[in-house]
Amino acid sequence: MRERLLAAEKIKAIEWRDGTLHLLDQRLLPLEETWRAYDSAVEVAGAIRDMVVRGAPAIGISAAYGVVLGARQRLAAGGDWRAALEEDFRALAGSRPTAVNLFWALDRMRERLARLKEGEDVLAALEAEALGIHESDREANLTMAQLGVELIRKHSGNPQALLTHCNAGALATGGFGTALGVIRAAWLEGLVERVYADETRPWLQGARLTAWELVEEGVPVSLNVDGAAAHLMKTKGVSWVIVGADRITADGDVANKIGTYQLAVVAMHHGVRFMVVAPSSTIDMSLQSGEEIPIEERDGRELLEIGGKRVAASVEAVNPVFDVTPADLIDAIVTERGVVERPNAAKMAELMSRKRLH
Burial of 84 (0-12, 13-18, 19+ CB in 10 A): middle
CA dihedral in degrees (348, 96, 14, 2; nearest 10)?
10
For residues 341 and 113, give the distance between their C-alpha atoms in angstroms, rounded to a whole number. 37
Residue 205 marked ligand-binding: yes
Closest to 259 measured CA to CA, from 163, 174, 343: 163
Q: Do 162 and 240 meet the contact criterion of CB atoms below 8 Å apart?
A: yes
Name residue 269's amino acid.
H
Residue 54 marked ligand-binding: yes
CA dihedral in degrees (199, 200, 204, 208; nearest 10)?
-50
Residue 55 marked ligand-binding: yes
Single out the catalytic residue among 246, 284, 323, 331.
246
Q: Do 23 and 53 meet the contact criterion of CB atoms below 8 Å apart?
A: yes
Residue 12 marked ligand-binding: no
Question: 33-42 burial, b for 16+ CB within 10 Å, e for fewer?
Answer: eeeeebebbb
CA dihedral in degrees (124, 125, 130, 135; nearest 10)?
90
Is residue 246 among the annotated active site residues?
yes
Residue 256 marked ligand-binding: yes
The end-to-end CA distance of the chain, in Å, is 14
Which residues fall in the annotated binding site for substrate? 54-56, 96, 205, 256-257
Active site residues: 246
Which residues fall in the annotated binding site? 54-56, 96, 205, 256-257
